[in-house]
Amino acid sequence: MNDISIYSKIAESFGVSKEDFEKKFLSEELMEETFEYFKKGEKLGVQSFPTIILEKNNKQTIIAQGYSNFKGLDKILLEG
């Protein structure tokens, strides 16, 4: 999903102007921040999106990659 107009419409539904959203979305600052998050994910072993990472006692563990329903995630979290 690379069509910025779709994201702009969603932002507008939350009260953010199209112009403000697109300016921030396309900014160098946000692109760099996004790249850093991707690098961090790569170091953690993220191979697909969405990925859910559990952080406990400063340790990160991937608990789901790709689509996961709540029932499956709840089971993983309850088991441990």
Closest CA to 38 of 51, 54, 19, 56: 51
Q: For each of the chain's 80 residues, which pLDDT tens digit applies?
A: 679 999 999 999 999 999 999 999 999 999 999 999 999 999 999 998 899 998 889 999 999 998 989 998 898 888 86
Maximum pairwise Cα distance, the chain: 46
Tokens found for residue 17: 């102007």
The model's pTM is 0.63
DSSP class of residue 47 equals -
